[in-house]
Chains A and B, each alone.
Chain A
Amino acid sequence: MRELDYVRASDVEEAVALVSGDPDARYLGGGTNLVDHLKLGIARPARLVDVGRLGLDGVEEQDGPDGRVLHVGANVRNSDLAAHPVVRSAFPVLSRALLSGASGQLRHQASTGGNLLQRTRCVYFQDVTTPCNKREPGSGCSAVGGYGRQDAVLGASEHCVATHPSDMAVAMAALDAVVVVRGRQGERRVPVRELHRLPGDRPDLDTTLEHGDLVTGVELPFTDAARCSTYLKVRDRASYAFALVSVAAALELDGDVVRDVRIAWGGVAHKPWRATAAEEALTGRAVDEDAVRAAVDAELAAARTTDQTAYKLPMLRGATTRTLLRLAGKDPS
């Protein structure tokens, strides 16, 4: 590990000034991803600015510009957010997603902001002995033509096929969460769906943030659909594994007919994938197996698979159908 300077920031302004003025500086939150990458030689900052004790650890109902929101501080730990009574009742998809991620120990350590900003990655990104365009731009992609069972099936490029591993971010994409960011120009709000980016020809960039931008919180809009929401994660082990595919869904019905539906997928792309084509196909229709499968197929028209990832498409059809039928109160057949 490279020599490393450590500074504990005393407030948000100081933290932003320290990192934005120094290309070799990085924020340190819970450290579960960054410390691992320091050890592996993937991240090589010269200075860490610890933002773990800046406060930013409250969960509060607030009036936002577009209605009532639950404001979650960036330092709220994943375990505390999952167990928060308002999250459990008004945003169950978020509790479920958080609880399906990592382990009990890691959830105590990982922060809300850090979970969002963990690296999009594949096994080759983690292995510094192999070429990787994300780790070392221009060096090539070892995953294309290599081991690729976890790879993206939507929105990938010839330069990168890695998937974003967060469960929490998938739930937040379905909830239309808004990320509160403090940068050199002051505070701004970024819809979580615009926080992460597709790889294109710059897979080294996971997000649309500028260097020095600090996530200070996340706002979750209260909606009827959010109240009727859940998360289904499909993985190789029953616990403590990344998703092969996952489904975050929220549903508001008007009688039998869909008034509002949000569907986001994990494990399929470089970012949490909001399935807007599927949502449009379902809105105004009754939720039944044929309708959901047709909606999923509308979304998957753009999918590109290999022999190793082809299994993800039927898995998404099954998982999404099961999730929506359950939310609609119909037992999946």
Chain B
Amino acid sequence: MPAIEVTSLSKTFRTKRKAAGLGASLRSLVRPEFRTIEAVRGLSFEMEPGELLGFIGPNGAGKSTTIKILTGILFPSGGEAKVLGYVPWKQRRQLAYHIGTVFGQRPQLWYHLPAIDTLTLFGKIYELDDRQTKRRIAELAEAFEIEDLLETPVRKLSLGQRMRCEVAASLLHKPKLLLLDEPSIGLDVVAKQHIRDAIRTMAAQENVGVLLTSHDAGDLEALCKRVIIINHGQIVYQDKVSALKRSFLTSKLVEVRYAQQVGADFRIAGTETLKVAKERYGVKLRFDARITPVGKVMAALSAAGTLVDITISDPPLEEVIAAIYQKAENRE
């Protein structure tokens, strides 16, 4: 049985429309105008138990709405969904015992209390006995390296420290599925890395499935095996992360540094020169590896002078995803 099964899921919101100014406010009081926003439009997908699935999309794409329907927070306008065999909006409480949720913008930890107090309360909420709760807190504290933070009021923790405590809290009751909505929002690079490592380790150790929404491609690269990209409430792409890279990361970037100066009009056949450095020792090029083999480019670069340094890289995943969004927009 799949962990998540979604068929033709849709959600529309009705919002009031009002032009600027007091006059319009008064008019809208007498005769309000509404418009319908389709946040999710006929979404269908499946997720296997223990899978690490990324849900990527720009702001307003429908990622959070989908996660909120899957946790039973929102009622859908149409379609069907089953999470661990439960219909979330009908069996919300039964489902809640088996899933963990983290909303990056909605801390679950009590702000004025140390995290240990919220964790203990969560133990009661999930009906664990006190010994079980204590043992589990110790396990999680070690995995997330939060032993020293547990007794500090949450308001005094840094955002990164707090998020580690948040994710730890969501795992207290050993859920089978973790739904993470923008877990790395607002974190710096080091804190992001820290939290990704901890999630990856725990998911592997306890065979927890992870559905993660983010608009940060780094989360996807670090954590997920498969990706669903949504925009305007619809799926625009779904495949393995490796396949996404293979089919879209066709161009390579090369940065070379020579022992002697090169000409300002430096050219290598089959490549595009992006930049020649001002002092004319360094050059940046791009080429399509399917048309011009890497070996051929290397040989030509080597023949052009004495190489001091060379780096070949893929363009960042952000660019790839932006290209996919663009393609989807153009189709519409």
Q: Do A and B come from one complex?
A: no
